[in-house]
Amino acid sequence: MKAVVFDKDNQLKLVTDYEKPIPKKGEALVRVTLAGICNTDYEITKGYMGYVGILGHEAVGVVEDVNVDPSPKSEISTLPQGAGKGHPLIGKRVVPEISYGCKKPDCPWCAEKLYRHCPERHTLGILAKDGVFAQYFTMPLETLFEVPENVPDTQAIFVEPLAAALEITEQHHIKPFEKVIVLGDGKLGLITALALNAQNLDVTLVGKHQNKLDIAKAQGVKTSLLQDFPIEKKYDVVVEATGSVSGFETSLALTKPRGTLVLKSTVATGKELNLAPIVIDEITVLGSRCGQFPPALRLLASGKVDFSPLISATYNIDDAIEGFEKNKEKETLKVLLKF
């Protein structure tokens, strides 16, 4: 099958004869229809995580086979391929959660279904698991979620970053009268602002690019250019989505005493940071990563958010490498790969 592979020589390649995966027990084989390039994929091509294999963790696909072998012996099934015929997921459009855990009975994270924190987790295209930039991938059944009929592939492809945005409301209760700032108008900031705004919260998106801010504004989000925005400590919740040190400092300067600063982007810095304001103003700093898919799919089905303006370009899998180049351009939001 065709697959976009980051190999041990640190080369990103389109391979045409990659072996089609066989689902293990309890796994499904999914035929990919659409995939999304994410900044994490780009980071991996720079050596982040030391990952080698098929890239990609954002996909929509159709379940083609399910390994229903009930025998407990080995992970590999002896049933013939196609034996899962008749399984209710076959033929269904699904999106995969990005991680699955060890599922050992004594793993406290897996017991709570917090697979993304399991120390022995596998993460699509990031850690110990081939990703989705290929014609097929396999994932355990419990990580696959059926896409509601009224949600097209081009919206469903945003479920992972949308779930990550909604994770904020799972971790922290934002009261309806509180003022929320999302700082940063890249993909992450836009999706977060749209997601929080759709929950009727008082959200202002602050960024540096008028054209990107306008995408959120068209859907009812209050927006402001950073240069026009007074930096005052008066916001209850500030979401840092710039990924830069200066963004972190600005976010801190916007958070009111006893407010909450949510870190949504991974700011890696060698620079010294002054953390004194966190203590002086008793600010709660909240790290926030991935979220649950069912609420994100419900929000997509409600039609309250529209992510189509975030799609910058769609490439055929044969031109995937070109798509990666496009993803590097500053003005680019989302690049999709079509199969």
Q: What are the residues binding Zn ion (CB under 5 A)? A: 38, 101-102, 107, 110, 118
Q: Smallest distance from the beta carbon of 24 to Zn ion, in angstroms?
A: 16
**Contact indicator for 98, 127 with CB cutoff of 8 Å:** no
Please state, in angstroms and rounded to a whole number, the distance separating the CA atoms of residues 29 and 99.
Answer: 16
Comparing CB distances to Zn ion, the nearer of 159 and 181 is 159
Least distance from Zn ion to the Cβ atom of residue 98, Å: 7
Q: How far is the CB of 108 from Zn ion (least distance, A)?
A: 8
Q: Which is nearer to Zn ion, 159 or 201 (CB)?
A: 159
Tokens 């084989």, located at residue: 29
Sequence-distant (≥ 6) Cβ neighbours of residue 31 within 8 angstroms: 61, 62, 63, 64, 135, 136, 339
45 within 8 A of 6, measured Cβ to Cβ: yes
Cβ nearer to Zn ion, comparing 94 with 283: 94
Considering only CA atoms, which of 194, 170, 165, 222 is closest in space to residue 308? 194
Rounded to the nearest whole angstrom, what is the least distance from the CB of residue 169 to Zn ion in the complex? 19
Query: Which of residues 110 and 226 has its CB atom nearest to Zn ion in the complex?
Result: 110
Alpha carbon distances (Å) from 193 to 168, 186, 190, 242, 303? 11, 11, 5, 13, 16
CB 80, min distance to Zn ion, A: 31
* Choice between 35 and 107, CB closer to Zn ion: 107
Helical ranges in 172-254 per DSSP H:
187-197, 210-217, 245-254
Nearest distance from C-beta of residue 90 to Zn ion, angstroms:
27
Q: Which is nearer to Zn ion, 156 or 201 (CB)?
A: 156
**Based on the number of CB atoms within 10 Å of its own CB, is 285 exposed (0-12), middle (13-18) or buried (19 or more)?**
middle
Torsion 245-247-249-251 (CA) sign: negative
